[in-house]
Homo-oligomer: A and B are copies of this chain.
């Protein structure tokens, strides 16, 4: 082979990338125009058939060359996307990424650092440590510093309110840290694993969750070979401290309670301080899945909704939700860094003892993955570009949208509103429609390519779910969404 295709890295990489990126941008644009809405019309069969026709043989003997492959496949992907940048794509915790975060992510792809050894990621390793420390501090404040109590309202940053629930008790030695994960699911797995190992000598760990907790928690218990979780009924959607207290009473062995700050179905926040009290009383370890809710930390007015967060041993964050990152951007904040010891891992080719003694640091023990993309880069660029103020404004924007949308629904005789939103999720249903109709409306809008709405069962009934994560959404967009639902209600 005389002329291998150009690489993305090195001094020549940028010039090789430039025309290819032009092709990608053109294809993204043309695909979005061809789609003409939040998702492609026609439903799964139509989309799959079209894609199959475009791609032909996915592994041909001779290739088409870069330009054709990029143009056709990227355009097909864009034309067949459910694009969260469209205001009517509002089903899931599936955010539209900021352009600056997507641009930063390109540099991760081009340089391809791998976080499992220093000599594959010198600067990226340093960056990850700095930024994860800052995010862990955002969750826990200074509670972790040895002998130093939390300092409510003394963060020294101008205009910032007190850290939520920063308690006066001294934290464990060492400062809180955070692990980078592929999302809330991996963060929840790690939280369970760290709890399992912390209590390994005391018998099998028992997970206790409310029944509104994310499905990744029981799945993680299964993965890790732990007993089936105890599920506390949560008819109102949040974990009731009294019911939790009852469930924990006389429950033998080591216990991990997983509470939620931002449920998937309704965006509800469990009563964190009361749950923390119950856990403390029963000697149960507390994990809080704040995949959705952690974004409130950036909002000066809303961060008090997270009071009690810092009382958890571990907290799941997910900046591909209220953080506007491309997937993946998950984190697990860990209050006591000693809890990370079980992840310590040695592989002679990556972190031989004599290399470590000679001063080569490594992040191999910060993940269960080995090769690992520097997802921290796009997060770092976003935090630096927007600051806490900019991110907080985005959070407030979508939460305010949700309040306004809920008010509209409340005032509308044709719709029932489930409740005033806690975060940015609004559950509603056309008044009097049976559950089957609700499910059908959602599927019809999907098949028409006109809206992507979610669904949730609350109070024994099925509701349409709008998860508002797009700061560019306007009231008119949501009015249009209601019209689309109304148009499909009577049929």
Contacts and interface: CB of A to CB of B under 8 A. Distances in A.
A416 to B, nearest CB: 19
Interface in A30-65: 32-33, 39-40, 43-45, 47-48, 50-52, 55, 57-65
A216 B347 CA distance: 9
A288 B98 CA distance: 40
Given A1-B396, A354-B439, 9 more contacts: A8-B85, A8-B101, A9-B96, A13-B29, A13-B32, A27-B107, A59-B134, A66-B381, A73-B127
Nearest to A100: B66
7 tightest A-B contacts by CB?
A: A80-B123, A225-B225, A9-B85, A63-B387, A69-B385, A10-B85, A8-B102
A69 B381 contact: yes
A465 B327 CA distance: 34
A113 B383 CA distance: 23
A84 interface: yes
Interface stretch (A153-161, A235-243, A246-254): A153-161
Query: Copies per complex?
Result: 2
B102 A106 contact: yes
A109 B102 contact: yes
Interface range on chain A (Cβ under 8 Å from partner): 35 or more
B81 A384 contact: no
A153 to B, nearest CB: 15
A223 B371 contact: no
A186 interface: yes
A7 B58 contact: no
A443 B355 contact: yes
Nearest to A138: B59
Contacts of A129: 48
30 contacts: A5-B390, A7-B97, A8-B99, A9-B96, A13-B99, A48-B129, A52-B130, A58-B380, A62-B390, A63-B385, A68-B384, A68-B385, A69-B385, A70-B100, A74-B381, A81-B111, A81-B113, A81-B123, A94-B114, A94-B120, A120-B452, A184-B370, A184-B371, A185-B368, A216-B370, A223-B224, A327-B371, A327-B372, A349-B465, A358-B439
Residue picked from A138, A193, A385, A443, most chain B C-beta under 10 Å? A385
Interface in A112-157: 112-114, 117-124, 126-127, 129-131, 133-135, 138, 157
A347 B216 CA distance: 9
Nearest to A11: B32
Contacts of A368: 185, 189, 219, 223
A456 to B, nearest CB: 6
A229 interface: no
A297 to B, nearest CB: 10
Nearest to A300: B61
Nearest to A80: B123
A183 interface: yes
A384 B56 CA distance: 9
B124 A455 contact: no
Interface stretch (A15-23, A272-280, A406-414, A480-488): A15-23
A43 to B, nearest CB: 7
Interface string A372-416: 111001101111111111100110110000000000000000000
Contacts of A354: 436, 439
A270 interface: no
A98 B48 CA distance: 28
